[in-house]
Chain A
């Protein structure tokens, strides 16, 4: 791994000009991802970025790794094929709220339940950016956009709740403006064995600017968010004086001393689901960090294990064997 250790962030920048809008949250994410790539100990020719369609999906073009910019919503299927074909690759998938949860919601559900060893970064800006500003499946109800001039009547979906419902083995959330936090979360995702799903709140400066300001803006962030850290008390606030306690099914705000310890590895994803549903309650802090982190059998490894087992019991298949595999007779 000498080659990998020598890598720096610069090695992961491709020769293509980055063409997101000035001020787009995507720049911060790209910068962070290029940074952590240099530290995960994988040579860059063993890394493959896969995306669908949308602003976020241009991501692979800017990474000096292997990359596949595929079809709207279908990145999970491409990533599954790539990983199944070569489980040695480190496969990363970049998607957005429209790509990953609207047109590609079906594939997202299935890659998560299968536990394919792919790291998924879902950039959530609660808007369609590349098509120039229509509401998305995560847009809040009432959002006025070009296709919802009187306000969207759709109820939004919560990406973390969705992933948990699909049986995802690793679910986390971070913010584009909180680089240090993003770095920690992405590193944890990188080291997870199985599908890692990371929702990244990402600000669209053009069509939905300030969508997350209410809790993500730096002056309020400490009081309005809580970082779920495995094995640590659930505390938050500028001076870490507040905490969360879950009485029955409802979380409530308590003093830091009374806070429960966060466990993302409970048998049931119930606690994580309770946390994810705090989003719709403005009185509660917005949870970030690691919601879920459990071990489960990995799809791509299991596929190859079956091939190995079949080959060792039946012997490797040859053309001769293939042709003569049924009942044959000879005409002289």
Chain B
């Protein structure tokens, strides 16, 4: 924060707030509302919701703490920030879990209404952190929100329990005052959300307004702060977007660009369920959603729908991918388009369902029985997930192949402003089904220039044919056990997938195109990598970064780019899976892995430190 004093309003370029409370305290809603309002007034922003796997862990305990971090800025930003400037703690557990992240000298806004002895006990504390020195070095604002919200809602018909549930909007109002934000976006949201419960809408509005007024009346703060709209955002129409929603929209757009009806077969799983939920609401776009009995039925139904002429889609997370593996092999064998979305989470097994990780990369590229090549694409930010989903659809239909689209928990739940693409800039890739009664008969395993086989829709006269998982004879698709034919078909499928290289661009290098360190990333590490490279280049370091959207097959000419640097650093949220792939593809390059597997994204400072350590060598 670089304050420039101007009467009692201080301006900052960028501020990070973390809202933390019990999982029942509504912190995700509070954070989302703050984000939305900041988006609408024109800040650049990035968010990081961090919530427990339990829906409602015992109230007041540390495992029950739910957090939402938002960074809003007047300059271009790429990450939700390493350390919050402001921590809002609704109870003792939220305070002690999050205080170690707060920036030295930062503001800790604490709800003292939730600090009774029993509250402390629930958080596993014997002494109050308000008095035991825990908060030394921070600016502490104590406010009894429980009491304030009760006063504010006196005279309403709400029960005292219902009144307490409005605490988050009181807190939000306070933050709106502190950072000089308008209330109207949230008021509109409340009116829509509680359209059928006007008493609740009214109470939350009262709480919001009371919180806002409290900033003025009670002189809790020394002054107000301001973060101006971001002036470097390119002109255009924007909306705030979360990764799961972007994927849902990208899949609908991809289907429309292909001229197909989308069919989603899916089974609920954290953190991917949001895509199924979003697509279920897109029925007027012709989307068929099928909530299957399990992960296997989900992908099998999608592949069945693909056979029948739909764009087949299945969405899941790592454990679900494990179950879908056999069907993915069948999709490779029958050569039908299918988009498989894996919103990665911490593993192995059930692992860390609500935390982020990138440890399914090798599973995506190689994790099937037999030689079963599947192209893999990775989204890098919430808004990029839209483009990545469209690209997955394009490859699937143009190459008649299953495609894996990797996202992760960080992208799924994170949000950022998205400059909407213009419809006319979205390039269609219409599918041409085989026409009825082709002259000379129909060969289901003939090939086009891309080595893709024809797509023949059941219901079309003269195209009756059978597909299945048994090895097929070239051209006819009849069952074949012929040894030479098997090798021919294995190589055919491999060559087809590797040939996708011809249709993908070599990514641009950000920063220096020759120098000391090239940071190669994929997926959600993009923001931290970009910020780290920007920071180091400001210091005059010769560093660049390259971000891979197409992680399999890899784009052409990567070796030439890497050769322009002394070393290549690959940060990823796994034990070095992409580094392993790059080493095997480019054995002559000096590839250094930088793994982090904590269920948390990379901090910019961590990356800066790591790159600097390489520069010193």
A: which residues have CB within 8 A of B?
14, 16, 43-46, 48, 50, 53, 60-61, 63-71, 74, 76-82, 84-86, 88-89, 106-107, 109-110, 303-304, 306-307, 309-311, 313-317, 319-320, 322-332
Alpha-carbon gap, A121 to B459, bound state (A): 22
Assuming A317-B282, A328-B420, is B330 touching A71 (CB within 8 A)?
A: yes
Does B294 lie at the interface of the complex (its beta carbon under 8 Å from any beta carbon of A)?
A: yes
Q: Within 8 Å CB of B287, what residues of A?
A: 307
Residues of B within 8 A of A331 (CB): 42, 233-236, 238, 419
CA of A128 to CA of B151, assembled, Å: 73
Complex: how many Å from CA A316 to CA B469? 37
Q: Quote the shortest CB–CB distance from B281 to chain A (angstroms).
A: 9
Mask of B389-419 contacts with A, CB within 8 angstroms, 1/0? 0000000000000000000000000000001
- B458/A86 in contact, CB under 8 A: yes
| CB <8 Å contact, B304 and A81 | yes
With A16-B478, A78-B300: A71-B327 Cβ-Cβ less than 8 Å? yes
Interface residues on B, range: 35 or more
The residue of chain A having its C-beta at the shortest distance from the C-beta of B330 within the complex is A71
CB-CB under 8 A for A327 and B36, given A77-B296, A81-B312: yes
0/1 interface trace, chain B 513-555, chain A, CB 8 Å (1 if under): 0000000000000000000000000000000000000000000
Q: Are A77 and B297 in contact (CB under 8 A)?
A: yes
Contact of B284 among A64, A79, A311 (CB under 8 A): A311
A45 near B464 with CB under 8 A, answer: yes
Q: Is the Cβ of B469 less than 8 Å from the Cβ of A71?
A: yes
Contact residue among A43, A61, A79, A332 (Cβ-Cβ distance under 8 Å from B466): A61
Q: Which residues of A contact B36 (CB under 8 A)?
A: 327
In the complex, chain B residues 28-43 whose Cβ is within 8 Å of any chain A Cβ: 36, 39-40, 42
**Among candidates B265, B426, B458, B470, residue contacting A66 with C-beta atoms closer than 8 Å:** B458
Question: What residues of chain A lie closer than 8 Å to B263, measured between beta carbons?
Answer: 81, 84-85
| A60 in contact with B256 (CB, 8 Å) | no
B305 lies within 8 A of A84 (CB): yes
Specify which chain A residues have a CB less than 8 angstroms from the CB of B304 in the assembled complex.
50, 68, 70, 77-82, 85
Name the B residues within 8 Å of A332 (CB-CB).
235
- For the complex, give the distance between the alpha carbons of A60 and B468 in Å: 10
Closest-by-CB residue of A relative to B326 is A71
Q: List 13 A-B contacts (CB under 8 A).
A: A48-B308, A48-B458, A70-B303, A77-B300, A78-B304, A80-B297, A81-B265, A82-B458, A106-B294, A109-B293, A311-B283, A322-B249, A331-B236
> In the complex, what residues of B have CB within 8 A of residue A86's CB?
308-309, 457-459
Contact with A along B180-221 (1 / 0, CB 8 A): 000001000000000000000000000000000000000000
Interchain CA distance A16-B473 in the complex, whole Å: 13
Quick one: which of A89, A309, A317 contacts B458, CB cutoff 8 A?
A89
Instruction: Give the distance in Å from the alpha carbon of A314 to the alpha carbon of B308 in the complex.
Output: 27
Quick one: which of A63, A77, A303, A323 contacts B420, CB cutoff 8 A?
A323
Contact A330 B307 (CB under 8 A): no
Decide if B185 touches A78 in the complex (CB within 8 Å). no
Contacts of B288 in A (CB 8 A): 84-85, 303-304, 307
B421 CB within 8 Å of chain A = yes
Partner of B300, one of A63, A74, A326: A74
The 7 closest A-B pairs by CB, nearest first: A81-B304, A69-B468, A317-B285, A81-B301, A77-B300, A85-B308, A310-B283
Candidate in A79, A85, A88 with the most chain B CB atoms within 10 angstroms: A85
**In the assembled complex, B315 has its CB within 8 A of some CB on chain A:** no
Residue on B nearest A314 in the bound complex, by CB: B284
Cβ of B499 under 8 Å from chain A: no
A66-B458, A307-B286 given as contacts; is B237 within 8 A of A324 (CB)?
A: yes
Contact A311-B305, Cβ < 8 Å, known A43-B461, A70-B300: no
Residues of B with C-beta under 8 A to A80: 290, 297, 301, 304
Cβ of B465: which chain A residues have Cβ within 8 Å of it?
A: 66-67
How far apart sit A273 and B42, CA to CA, in the bound complex (Å)?
66
| B462 and A45 contacting across the interface, CB-CB below 8 Å | yes
Q: Could you tell me the dominant secondary structure of chain B's interface residues?
A: mixed
Nearest Cβ distance between residue A210 and chain B, in whole angstroms? 30
Cross-interface CB contact of A327 among B40, B236, B290, cutoff 8 Å: B40
In the bound complex, what is the Cα–Cα distance between A330 and B463 (angstroms)? 50
Contact A317 B252 (CB under 8 A): yes
Check if B240 sits within 8 Å of A327, measured CB to CB: yes
Say if the beta carbon of B118 comes within 8 Å of chain A. no
**Chain A: minimal CB distance from B499 (Å):** 26
Asked whether A84 lies within 8 Å of B301 as measured between CB atoms, the reply is yes
Contact A45 B458 (CB under 8 A): yes
Cβ contacts under 8 Å, B615 to chain A = none
Q: Does B467 contact A (CB under 8 A)?
A: yes
B310 contacts partner chain A, Cβ-Cβ < 8 Å = yes
Q: Chain A's nearest CB lies how many Å from the CB of B70?
A: 17
- Given A68-B334, A307-B287; 9 other pairs, CB 8 A cutoff: A66-B458, A67-B466, A71-B326, A81-B301, A81-B303, A86-B308, A106-B294, A322-B249, A327-B239
Q: Is B305 a contact partner of A81 (Cβ separation < 8 A)?
A: yes
Contact A330 B464 (CB under 8 A): no
8 A Cβ contacts from B233-269 to A: 233-241, 249, 252-253, 256, 261, 263, 265
The distance in angstroms between the C-alpha atoms of A44 and B461, with both chains bound, is 8
Q: How far is B327's CA from A74's CA once the two chains are assembled, in angstroms?
A: 9
In the complex, which residues of chain A have a beta carbon less than 8 angstroms from the beta carbon of B420?
323-324, 328
Chain A residues with Cβ below 8 Å from B300 are 70-71, 74, 77-78, 81, 107
Q: Nearest residue in A to B232 (C-beta to C-beta)? A: A331
| Neighbouring B residues of A82 by C-beta, 8 Å | 304-305, 307-308, 458
Q: How far is the CA of A39 from the CA of B494 in the complex (A)?
A: 44
Determine the distance from Cα of A328 to Cα of B252 in the docked complex, in whole angstroms. 19
Q: Which residues of B contact A309 (CB under 8 A)?
A: 283
Query: Is B1 engaged at the interface, CB distance under 8 Å to the other chain?
Result: no
CB distance from B73 to the nearest CB of A (A): 14
Neighbour of A311 across the interface among B39, B239, B286, B463, CB < 8 A: B286
Q: Shortest distance in angstroms between A10's beta carbon and chain B's nearest beta carbon?
A: 14
- A69 surroundings in chain B (CB, below 8 A): 466-470
Is the beta-carbon distance between B284 and A316 smaller than 8 angstroms?
A: yes
With contacts A68-B467, A71-B326, A322-B253 known, is A330 near B238, CB below 8 A?
yes
